[in-house]
Amino acid sequence: MMIDYLVGSALAITSMLALLLFGTDIIRLNVEARERWQAKMALADFDARWHLSGESLPIGPICRGGDSPWIVAWCISPPVMSLPHARAEVDTNAPAITLRWGQGGAAEPDAQSVRRGL
């Protein structure tokens, strides 16, 4: 009977360690997927607001101040604000908008990005 308890406790400890090791990766992957989904939603929202505004497409970085009211409203919208250190830039050659974000900042090499054609 003592052996049963020892085997059971060894299995419990092993499974807790496995959960600790793999659980953090699962949580990280879940956070990255949620952030990517919110970034795609934010870019779709930008596209819709731009078409509704009837204005010409802004050039270069946005959300830096001095933007149109619809851009300011987009910059403070929940999908954009939920991304850590988000930075958006419009490329008029494509035309497309790129949204970059990351824990270390949008300029870091490990920052994530999503691009949408306009």
Q: Parse the chain into domains and list their residue ranges.
A: 2-117
Half-sphere exposure of 71 (CA within 13 A, CB side): 20
Give 12-61 as a DSSP string: HHHHHHHHHHHHHHHHHHHHHHHHHHHHHHHHHHHHHHHHHH-PPPP-EE
Could you report the per-residue pLDDT of 59-95, keeping only the tens digit for each? 888 888 777 888 889 888 998 898 888 888 888 888 8
Rounded Cα distance, 89 and 61, in Å: 4
**Percent of the chain having pLDDT more than 70?**
97
* pLDDT grade for 106, boundaries at 50, 70 and 90: low
Predicted confidence band at 37 (pLDDT cuts at 50, 70, 90)?
A: very high
Confidence of residue 1 (pLDDT cuts 50, 70, 90): low
